[in-house]
Amino acid sequence: MMSSVIFKLMSGFHLNLGNVAINKIFEGEPDHLIPSVLDEFLDNDMFTVAGRMIGHSFLYRGPSFPGLSPAIIHILFGGSLETTPVTIQDCPDLDIRDIVKMLYGDAELKECDSIHQLCLSWDLPAPNATNRKWLSQKLLLHAVVEQTRRQINQFQKGLKETGIWELLIHRRDVIPILFPRESEAQITPQMILDRIIWPSSITVFFENYEDEDGDEDEDSYDAIDVCRVCGYLKTFIENVSPAELKRLIKFWTGWEVPATEMRVKIHEATFPTALTCFETLRLPRHYTEYKQFHQDLRVCTSIGCSSFGCV
């Protein structure tokens, strides 16, 4: 459930606000997400809800929320405006980005009317030769932080309501766990291989749960089948793209973050399946060619399904 909650928070909601199909509470580039300035989100306390969602996911050992801008994290946990590490990538509005870049450079200012209008709306002076670089930083800071103050306050309120705020304040080392950098959360083949619990070299890994037909899974198969299919899986992991690795992990565990232990089981079946609660990938023993194994596993991991015994 927590995986679905965080996935919706990252991918957006079908709220029909602002004449768009999907509304995202946080917007911008990866690792530079900031709260949306859409008034409807504020009016409906959606950032409070977002704080609760992330806080409860943390409490129940669910996935974290990656990619939040360091500038927003800085202000969220009481950092001063003067020391905010804001960058041009933190501004999701491309028009404002262009104005900030133009002001910070040395080229002659163009489209001065639009710049004057923007500065006037944010209670800032008109640009000139002496204040243009200072003004570019003020515009950027306003676009990223000052425009989102109320959103950040709501977000903070939601985190506090889950009871984890005191931990975050007194244990600052927990903050990167709650809000990791998306660029630092890349999945590598070795990261997955190091966490896999492979079947026995002689018999299939035995589980203490029942199969879908109600019979206990106590069959064992030739070690040759087990080693061959496990070898196919290892080859798949070592050669597919990072995006495909994420889909495999999501199919396997229910979320795109590798579990501490991920089990592999070889059994009699037609297609690969997964028991996400047990973090177990179940692979058919009938594969004798890697090409067919690769094709079937890609299809199964690409359908976007992650649930109990999904195919």
* DSSP tag of 13: B
State the average pLDDT over residues 194-209: 62
Residues whose CB is less than 8 angstroms from the CB of residue 92 and which lie 6 or more positions away in sequence, other chains included: 27, 28, 29, 32, 34
Token pair, residue 176, equals 């990167």
Token pair, residue 283, equals 């692979």
pTM: 0.68
Token pair, residue 204, equals 């299939």
Give residue 142's pLDDT. Answer: 95
CATH 3.30.2410.10 domain extents, the chain: 189-310
Give residue 220's pLDDT. Answer: 47
Residue 302 has pLDDT above 80, yes or no: yes
* CA 263 to mean position of chain CA atoms: 23
For the domain made up of 189-310, give the CATH fold.
Hect, E3 ligase catalytic fold (3.30.2410)
Could you give the CA distance from residue 271 to residue 20 in angstroms, rounded to a whole number? 38
Give residue 206's pLDDT. Answer: 40
The least confident of 30-39, 60-69, 288-297 is 60-69
pLDDT in tens, 205-234: 444 434 444 444 444 447 888 999 999 999
The least confident of 133-137, 202-206, 251-255, 268-272 is 202-206
pLDDT in tens, 83-98: 999 999 999 999 999 9
pLDDT in tens, 6-62: 878 888 887 776 666 788 899 999 899 999 998 889 998 999 999 999 999 999 877
Of the two residues 160 and 278, the one the predictor is more confident about is 160
Mean per-residue pLDDT of the chain: 85
Give residue 304's pLDDT. Answer: 52
State the average pLDDT over residues 140-146: 95
Token pair, residue 81, equals 């405006």
Confidence of residue 185 (pLDDT cuts 50, 70, 90): low
Could you give the CA distance from residue 187 to residue 170 in angstroms, rounded to a whole number? 30
Order of strands across the sheet with 196-197? 196-197, 262-267, 280-284, 273-275, 308-310
Give residue 111's pLDDT. Answer: 66
Yes or no: say if 281 and 269 are a contact pair by the CB < 8 Å rule.
no
Give residue 310's pLDDT. Answer: 44
The type of residue at 279 is E
Confidence of residue 296 (pLDDT cuts 50, 70, 90): very high
Beta strands in the chain (DSSP E): 26-27, 34-35, 196-197, 262-267, 273-275, 280-284, 308-310
Q: Which of 18, 60, 20 is nearest to 43 (CA)?
A: 18
Residue 307 has pLDDT above 50, yes or no: no
Within 13 Å, how many C-alpha atoms sit on residue 104's CB side?
13
Yes or no: say if 182 and 30 are a contact pair by the CB < 8 Å rule.
yes
Q: Are strands 26-27 and 34-35 parallel, antiparallel or unpaired?
A: antiparallel
Yes or no: say if 192 and 245 are a contact pair by the CB < 8 Å rule.
yes
State the Cα angle at 182 between 232 and 27, rounded to 5°. Answer: 125
Give residue 1's pLDDT. Answer: 75
Residue 204 has pLDDT above 70, yes or no: no
Residue 309 has pLDDT above 50, yes or no: no
